[in-house]
Structure 1
Amino acid sequence: MKRLFFMSLILCVPFVVHATSADLGIDQSSITFSDKLVAGSTVRIYGVITNYGDVDVAGYVSFFQGTVPIDDSQVISVRAGGVPEEVYVDFIVPNGEFNVRAEIRGTDPSDENATNDVAITRLFTPIFDDDGDGVENDTDNCPQKANATQVDTDGDLIGDACDDDDDDDGLTDDVETELGTSPISKDTDGDGVADASDAYPSDTTRSVIVPVVVEPVVVPATVVTTLEAPVVDAFQLNARDESVSEEDAVDTTDSSVDAPDTHDELSFSPRAVFSYARDSWNTFEFKAVTPEAAGYQYQWDFGDGVESSRATVRHTYSVSGDFEVSFRVVDPNGSISEDSSVIHVRFWTLQNRVVEMILAFLSLLLLIGMAMIAKLSGDRWRGSSTKRSKLIPDVVQEDERLDDEPRKKIAVRNLDNE
């Protein structure tokens, strides 16, 4: 009876069974980026995985740009009731709008809840920053050169990194560097006179040159002397050659005559504002025709992109051709004189190394051709000599046969007489 009672009691007590489940999940808000989304740059995409089940689960996340695979994350193991785990992949930001899709895969044990295994972000618009200075192209005052500080000294909306005249005083930064003035200050010495108008831009005590009397420039005439060879009568020359021995012959070479100079004669611009002379095939010396006094400002443009602000300049051209040299000079009173002249840089000259190499190559071809002609002529001569040597024995035998014929006839005649 007692046994039946206990069995009935056991059947009446409900048994509580706890079922285990594996459930990893990822949320859209947990997908973030390591840096600004600059088009063409590489950033890292992060995602946070949470374990909503009651068993430890391992797995990884596959990331997609829309439907295009980006990469798979590292394999992680998320503890039940533990802290979420972070996964990541590297990503190159495209040039257009995009979104990111993250999908949990490869879970062990198998994920029993697939509803939270995929997360899709909103659409992102990339930032365009061509020079990579952290400032977007739309607001960058120099989008082709990195200038994170965006310094614009003269306020012309062109950053100093791209502005060739930072202080907007009319003098380029390169010219101010040659003059020794500040490229970011219109008045380097602070005397109230802008550098472009200051004859002494680095001297606070003076800014104007005392006028000087400019003497007229006299252009020297170019004298060309032509040496004519003396006319010698051929009969007199022959007679003298017969009467004078080799030891008494007169040396006709005049040792006092100098070798011809490679420099061209001095030339002047059309208005005689500057002069120039050729030093070599591609090098010229230019000189301003002005009095030797302070306060003059010079500006040269040699026609090949090179400029200078010196009174005398020696310039070498890298290629041959015609170049228009422009010159501008401002005297202490502010008067401006301008002039230009076309300079011809010859290519076909023996001073040009390229021409020397071409001539050397042609000479080599000529020597090779002469050698081949000589070889062919020698082969033909040897062939004809061999043929003649073969014909000589046949001719000799024929001559001997002809000489024996009379002898045979005489012998027959003598036998008949007997």
Structure 2
Amino acid sequence: MSIKSSDIRFSNDTFVAGETVRIYIRVRNLGDTDISGYIGFYSGSELINSSQVVTLVADGAYEEVWVDYTIPHSPSFNIRALVKGTSPQDTNSSNDEILTPLYSIIVDDDGDGVDDETDNCLNVSNTSQTDTDGDGAGDACDSDDDNDRLSDSVEDELGTDPIDSDTDNDGYSDADDKYPLDSSKHEEVVVLDLIPVLVQEVIPELFNDDQDSGNGADQIEEESELQAQDQDLESQTALERSSGSVLHVSPNASFVYTRENWKTYAFQSLAHLSTYSVLSWDFSDGSLSSLESVSHEFPSYGTYQVTLRLTDEQGVIHEDIQELTISFFHLSNPFVQIILGLLMVLLIVSIFTTVRTRVGKEAGNKEEIRNEVMEVKAVKKIKSVAKKKTKTKK
């Protein structure tokens, strides 16, 4: 039997650590006697496996044998093949063994065909290796593909392009643009209360009396503040009325929230639009939002931390964290409904069993009374017959 190193091949041309490949080798009988045998495949000194036994006719055609091999987690490997178990005994051992050159191994933990040394997403399959913002993290594992400080999930919620930092092409980043979908504007229009300005600047000039005008300005400004406080109270009352639930305030008074049902809460930011550049909610269940007012349904019962992050114009991040506990025991919980349903079934079965037992006992009592009555009647009848017989004999 004869083998050559040029006659060995693999099912794959790329060798990835942890994957299984099939090793083939062609075998030929160069002698003048029919022969049988098999090939042992080795990695180093360790036996991989032995091929199937083949029978080769004298000076006949090639036969191909194979084994499966799992690529090791090492820089490289080679294969040694050895003719074994020949019958009759192989008389020429010079062509019974071959050794392949070293083959390089790719370590690819996510199975995308890219070596971990160059893969920009080690644990997420990313064949294209697309990296929109060029930050070294591929889009498949980058939470902010365009690097505009808004996560992709937040941009999906806003309707902006997650791979374009300036969706409306107005020259302002989506994170800094108050209207990221409207190229005609980018800043929020804030209507200022001009009454205090008029009171402090115009009225003193008209009356030319600093003291009197100052007192008048103070009085009007005070009335304006009181009016604003009344409006805030009316707004808060409206929130409580609209939700129908108790209004709760976060620890740092950055937002308020109400409970809508078992695991759904409504949240409202209290921060003024002009005091921050970025707003984001984190509900600690994998969900995020950038809306000022949002209603969120948590996945299940448990304890969650709701975080409101506010980033001001200087890039300083302010956080307000509220811990919420959603109880398991609630009528809206399907598991509680099942438990209550089972309890109801057990109660009904218990009542039915009790009633049936009582009815059975009453039926048994009636049967006993009936039997006693029958026995009394039978005794009376026997006595009556005996009495008649006695009279007849006399």
TM-score by length of 1: 0.63
Unaligned runs of 5+ in 2: 194-227, 382-394
Aligned twin of 1:92: 69
Aligned twin of 2:108: 129
Kindly indicate whether residue 329 of structure 2 is the aligned counterpart of residue 348 of structure 1. yes
CA displacement 1:168-206 (0-9 Å, x = unmatched)? 332212222333444344444555543322334455554
Query: 2: CA distance between counterparts of 1:346 and 1:109?
Result: 79
Aligned twin of 2:18: 40
Give aligned-pair identity as a percent: 35
1:312/1:76 Cα in 2 relative to 1: closer, same or farther (>3 Å)?
farther
Asked if the contact 2:19–2:70 (Cα under 8 Å) also holds between the matched residues in 1, the reply is yes
Query: 2: CA distance between counterparts of 1:394 and 1:146?
Result: 92
> What is the identity, as a one-letter code, of the residue corresponding to 2:188?
I
Q: Secondary structure at the match of 2:232?
A: coil
Kindly indicate whether residue 247 of structure 2 is the aligned counterpart of residue 267 of structure 1. yes
Query: 1: CA distance between counterparts of 2:161 and 2:343?
Result: 56
Kindly indicate whether residue 281 of structure 2 is the aligned counterpart of residue 316 of structure 1. no
**Which residue, 161, 165, 168 being the options, matches 2:144?**
165
Matches within 5 A, 1:5-404: 24-28=1-5, 30-33=7-10, 34-49=12-27, 61-65=38-42, 66-72=46-52, 85=62, 87-95=64-72, 99-104=78-83, 111-121=90-100, 126-189=105-168, 191-213=170-192, 218-220=232-234, 264-265=244-245, 267-270=247-250, 273-289=254-270, 298-328=279-309, 339-391=320-372
More displaced stretch, 56-65 vs 112-121: 56-65
Aligned residues: 338
Query: 2: CA distance between counterparts of 1:44 and 1:67?
Result: 15
1:305/1:375 Cα in 2 relative to 1: closer, same or farther (>3 Å)?
same
1:292/1:171 Cα in 2 relative to 1: closer, same or farther (>3 Å)?
closer
> What is the identity, as a one-letter code, of the residue corresponding to 1:197?
D
How far has the Cα of 1:60 moved from its partner? 6.6
Asked if the contact 1:186–1:195 (Cα under 8 Å) also holds between the matched residues in 2, the reply is yes
1:355/1:45 Cα in 2 relative to 1: closer, same or farther (>3 Å)?
closer
Aligned twin of 1:412: none
Query: 2: CA distance between counterparts of 1:132 and 1:118?
Result: 34
Structure richer in helix, relative to its length: 2
How far has the Cα of 1:144 moved from its partner? 1.6
1:91/1:301 Cα in 2 relative to 1: closer, same or farther (>3 Å)?
same
1:167/1:75 Cα in 2 relative to 1: closer, same or farther (>3 Å)?
farther
1:395/1:328 Cα in 2 relative to 1: closer, same or farther (>3 Å)?
same
CA displacement 1:222-258 (0-9 Å, x = unmatched)? 69xxxxxxxxxxxxxxxxxxxxxxxxxxxxxxxxxxx
How far has the Cα of 1:386 moved from its partner? 4.1
Query: 2: CA distance between counterparts of 1:200 and 1:91?
Result: 60
More displaced stretch, 160-169 vs 24-33: 24-33
Query: 1: CA distance between counterparts of 2:41 and 2:369?
Result: 94
> What is the identity, as a one-letter code, of the residue corresponding to 2:344?
S
Unaligned runs of 5+ in 1: 1-23, 224-260, 401-418
1:73/1:193 Cα in 2 relative to 1: closer, same or farther (>3 Å)?
farther
Asked if the contact 1:61–1:102 (Cα under 8 Å) also holds between the matched residues in 2, the reply is no
Q: Secondary structure at the match of 1:64?
A: strand
Asked if the contact 1:130–1:137 (Cα under 8 Å) also holds between the matched residues in 2, the reply is yes
How far has the Cα of 1:163 moved from its partner? 1.6
Query: 2: CA distance between counterparts of 1:262 and 1:213?
Result: 28
Query: 2: CA distance between counterparts of 1:334 and 1:126?
Result: 46
> What is the identity, as a one-letter code, of the residue corresponding to 1:67?
L
Q: Secondary structure at the match of 1:325?
A: strand
Asked if the contact 2:40–2:83 (Cα under 8 Å) also holds between the matched residues in 1, the reply is no
1:46/1:292 Cα in 2 relative to 1: closer, same or farther (>3 Å)?
closer
1:296/1:125 Cα in 2 relative to 1: closer, same or farther (>3 Å)?
closer
Q: Secondary structure at the match of 1:142?
A: coil
